[in-house]
């Protein structure tokens, strides 16, 4: 069963001159994770806002958990959880205050909302910080609490809008761990991100969007292959460049690119780590010890250049009528 | 229906919790009007010949009370703009709660803060010589009147807060409009000195009718108003009630509508 279906969503701003969504369609199978990947201004947030009933599209239709988003927004709100780009919490209140407040707003009774707040604080390792105001929390803690708040009634469908944007690497890893856990619990998740790595890690399938449309769909591997797969890169001593290049060519089958200035040899490889091991063996046999060796995976930029023919430019934030731009502090 | 009542009570409770969690906010919110009482009492009080029993402070207190509750508009606007800016309104809108709960909760919460502010100001006023002479029932009615006026002003604040979406803009906008309104009135000085056209404006000004009504309810003759002898200055209590009903009748539906469509 499809948990999320969006068909031909169109949303324009400024009397039609700015198209945030330009006929966007997508589907998410129940219990799976779809990563919505795209640069700023591609329409990711607008898509989430439409599906989460915050925004009415100019045209198009959508259902979430089988409920029509435009006709029965109140019913949709009962089964979704939303955690946005910015931790939407009351900063002056404590973590505990926030969770019990949202629990009450989800119509749990007083006792149930307290119990649920306790569970969630425990689950997200925030019990120690429960009685501290949110403004004393780190970025990662805020995001975790924000996520906790969206899980109060165990939503059928969860929307996470750039859950790790702005977090430091540690915060990002923690957040990934938390989301992994959720996904194991069987929730249907629509996640937006600017990072291919993140979509790769968390999503079952990925939809790449640009200028308000889905321009490619597939698993992370499929997309990467479309971009051209991985490249092997090694750095060796100057006097070994010629010999190493031959060995790399032997494994890759293609003529390697050599940058003599930084002594780097690179070539496309089809079966990633196996090729890496093979090259290492050959180098070892030839008594060449590379200074650096690795597989370079395609970046979001690579995907974008390949799919759209242009660099992932940072479009002025048109999403939500330019609202995000002012929200950033 | 019961559900919507509980929804807005949760939002109101949130604001009361804020007062407990950051008491500084409430302390400053009360120090400012208390300071106004002292400044006006001792700076203007000496210069203005009030001509009423008990001196200028009897006329001043209703003026400052009304000015303070008029600024509820600011508290509401700034609070909502901040919630917009932080994305909290979006979160509320994604919850299965009644469409009016957030804005009603906010206006009621701001009115409850006024209760604290008015009590403190009343005490400070009493310390510097304010002696309402109309008896407990009328004094109580006077305060109730002030709270009701603050509540109806709060609805204008809802619309402003949701429209400007930014805390600082809300603050500037509100101060630029409410300050002149409170001074173009009979709150602090007689309107006699104003040009005739301003006198009419001042007498139709809801702040003036409120101040005149409160002076009546607190038992002080309103010698600062009614120089142009307009109908509102003759019937301040009735006129103030009409203003309050109008404010809520106009701004409450517009504001709720604005909330529902705030990101369209």
How far CA B209 is from CA of A167, B75, B225, B252, in Å, comes to: 54, 22, 9, 22
**C-alpha–C-alpha distance, residues B178 and B181, integer Å:** 5
pLDDT digits (tens, 9 = 90+) for A213-222: 999 898 877 8
**Which residues 6+ apart lie within 8 Å of B76 measured at CB?**
B106, B107, B110, B154, B155, B157, B158, B160, B161
Q: What distance in Å separates residue A271's CA from the closest CA in chain B?
A: 45
**Which residues 6+ apart lie within 8 Å of A58 measured at CB?**
A10, A11, A12
Q: Is B226 helix (H, G, I), strand (E, B) or coil?
A: coil
Is B235 touching A (CB cutoff 8 A)? no
Full-model pTM: 0.81
Residue A314 has pLDDT above 80, yes or no: no
Measured between beta carbons, the chain B residues lying within 8 angstroms of A149 are 91
- Which of A138, A136, A158, A135 lies closest to A148 in space, CA to CA? A158
Q: What distance in Å separates residue A202's CA from the closest CA in chain B?
A: 24
Is A131 touching B (CB cutoff 8 A)? no
- Which of B73, B89, B64 lies closest to B14 in space, CA to CA? B89
Predicted pLDDT of residue A325: 36
The answer to whether the Cβ–Cβ distance between A92 and B95 falls below 8 Å is: no
Residue A146 has pLDDT above 90, yes or no: yes
How far CA B77 is from CA of A5, A256, B158, in Å, comes to: 38, 64, 5
Is A93 touching B (CB cutoff 8 A)? yes
Q: Nearest residue on chain A to B259, judged by CA atoms?
A: A54
**C-alpha–C-alpha distance, residues A44 and A41, integer Å:** 7
Is A213 touching B (CB cutoff 8 A)? no
Instruction: Identify the band that residue B227 occupies on the pLDDT scale cut at 50, 70 and 90.
Output: low
All structural domains of chain B with their residue ranges: 55-262
Instruction: Identify the band that residue A14 occupies on the pLDDT scale cut at 50, 70 and 90.
Output: confident
The answer to whether the Cβ–Cβ distance between B90 and A56 falls below 8 Å is: no
Q: What distance in Å separates residue B27's CA from the closest CA in chain A?
A: 15
Is A101 touching B (CB cutoff 8 A)? yes
Instruction: Identify the band that residue B148 occupies on the pLDDT scale cut at 50, 70 and 90.
Output: very high
- For residues B198 and B181, the answer to whether their CB atoms sit within 8 Å is no
CA A325 to chain centre: 20
Measured between beta carbons, the chain A residues lying within 8 angstroms of B26 are none
> Which chain A residues in 5-24 lie under 8 Å from chain B, judged by CB atoms?
none
Residue A83 has pLDDT above 80, yes or no: yes
Q: Nearest residue on chain A to B5, judged by CA atoms?
A: A105
Is A52 touching B (CB cutoff 8 A)? yes
Tell me which of A256 and B155 has the higher pLDDT. B155
**C-alpha–C-alpha distance, residues A260 and A283, integer Å:** 18
Q: What distance in Å separates residue A63's CA from the closest CA in chain B?
A: 15
Of A92, A97, A105, the CB nearest to B97: A105
Among A26-40, A109-123, A154-168, A261-275, the minimum mean pLDDT is found in A261-275
Residue A269 has pLDDT above 80, yes or no: yes
Among A113-122, B186-195, B206-215, B238-247, the minimum mean pLDDT is found in B186-195
Instruction: Identify the band that residue A1 occupies on the pLDDT scale cut at 50, 70 and 90.
Output: confident
ipTM: 0.87
Predicted pLDDT of residue A271: 78
The answer to whether the Cβ–Cβ distance between A106 and B7 falls below 8 Å is: no
- The helix-helix angle for A272-285 and A241-252 (nearest 10°) equals 140
Is B22 touching A (CB cutoff 8 A)? yes
Q: Nearest residue on chain A to B23, judged by CA atoms?
A: A92
Rg from Cα positions in chain A: 23
Predicted pLDDT of residue A39: 81
Measured between beta carbons, the chain B residues lying within 8 angstroms of A133 are 21-22
Q: Using CB atoms within 10 A of its CB, is residue B136 exposed (0-12), middle (13-18) or buried (19+)?
A: exposed
The answer to whether the Cβ–Cβ distance between B95 and A74 falls below 8 Å is: no
Predicted pLDDT of residue B243: 96
Strand partners, A190: A34, A159
Q: What is the largest CA-CA distance in chain A?
A: 75
Residue A324 has pLDDT above 60, yes or no: no
**C-alpha–C-alpha distance, residues A233 and A256, integer Å:** 9
- For residues B134 and B54, the answer to whether their CB atoms sit within 8 Å is no
Q: What distance in Å separates residue A56's CA from the closest CA in chain B?
A: 6
Predicted pLDDT of residue A319: 38
């Amino acid at each position: 069963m499809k948990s999320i279906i969006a068909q031909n969503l169109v949303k324009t701003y400024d009397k039609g001159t700015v198209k945030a969504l330009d006929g966007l369609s997508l589907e998410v199978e129940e219990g799976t994770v779809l990563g919505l990947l795209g640069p700023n201004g591609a329409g990711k947030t607008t898509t989430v806002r439409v599906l989460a009933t915050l925004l009415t599209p100019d045209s198009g239709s959508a259902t979430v958990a089988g409920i029509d988003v435009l006709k029965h927004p109140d019913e949709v709100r009962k089964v979704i959880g939303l955690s946005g780009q910015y931790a939407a919490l009351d900063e002056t209140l404590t973590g505990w205050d926030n969770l019990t407040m949202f629990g009450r707003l989800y119509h749990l009774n007083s006792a149930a909302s307290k119990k649920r707040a306790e569970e969630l604080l425990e689950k997200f390792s925030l019990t120690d910080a429960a009685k501290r105001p949110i403004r004393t929390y780190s970025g990662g803690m805020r995001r975790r609490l924000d996520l906790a708040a969206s899980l109060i009634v165990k939503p059928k469908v969860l929307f996470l809008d750039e859950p790790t944007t702005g977090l430091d690497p540690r915060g990002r890893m923690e957040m990934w761990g938390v989301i992994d856990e959720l996904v194991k619990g069987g929730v249907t998740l629509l996640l937006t991100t600017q990072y291919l790595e993140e979509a790769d890690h968390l999503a079952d399938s990925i939809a790449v969007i640009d200028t308000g449309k889905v321009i490619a769909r597939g698993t992370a591997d499929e997309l990467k292959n479309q971009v051209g797969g991985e490249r092997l890169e090694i750095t060796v001593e100057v006097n070994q460049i010629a010999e190493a290049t031959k060995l790399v060519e032997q494994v890759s089958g293609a003529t390697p690119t050599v940058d003599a200035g930084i002594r780097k040899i690179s070539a496309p490889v089809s079966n990633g780590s196996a090729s890496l091991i093979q090259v290492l063996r050959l180098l070892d046999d030839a008594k060449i010890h590379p200074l650096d060796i690795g597989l370079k995976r395609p970046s979001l930029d690579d995907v974008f250049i390949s799919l759209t023919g242009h660099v992932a430019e940072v479009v002025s934030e048109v999403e939500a009528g330019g609202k995000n731009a002012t929200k950033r502090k | 229906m019961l559900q919507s009542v509980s929804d807005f009570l949760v939002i109101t409770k949130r604001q009361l919790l804020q007062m407990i969690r950051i008491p500084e906010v409430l302390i400053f919110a009360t120090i400012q009007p208390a300071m106004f009482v002292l400044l006006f009492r001792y700076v203007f009080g000496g210069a203005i010949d009030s001509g009423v029993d008990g001196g200028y402070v009897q006329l001043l207190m209703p003026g400052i009370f009304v000015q303070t509750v008029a600024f509820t508009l600011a508290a509401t606007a700034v609070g909502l703009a901040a919630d917009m800016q932080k994305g909290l309104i979006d979160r509320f809108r994604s919850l299965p709660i009644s469409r009016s709960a957030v804005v009603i909760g906010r206006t009621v919460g701001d009115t409850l803060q006024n209760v604290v502010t008015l009590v403190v100001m009343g005490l400070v006023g009493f310390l510097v010589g304010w002696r309402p002479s109309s008896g407990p029932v009328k004094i109580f009615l006077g305060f109730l009147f002030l709270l009701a006026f603050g509540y109806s002003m709060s609805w204008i604040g809802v619309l402003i807060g949701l429209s400007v979406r930014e805390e600082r803009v809300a603050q500037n906008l509100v101060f630029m409009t409410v300050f002149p309104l409170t001074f173009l009135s009979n709150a602090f000085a007689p309107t006699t000195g104003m040009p005739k056209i301003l006198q009419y404006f001042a007498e139709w000004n809801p702040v003036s009718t409120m101040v005149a009504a409160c002076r009546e309810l607190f038992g002080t003759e309103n010698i600062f108003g009614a120089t142009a002898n307009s109908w509102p200055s003759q019937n301040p209590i009735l006129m103030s009630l009409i203003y309050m009903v109008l404010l809520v009748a106009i701004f409450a539906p517009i504001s709720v509508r604005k909330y529902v469509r705030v990101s369209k």
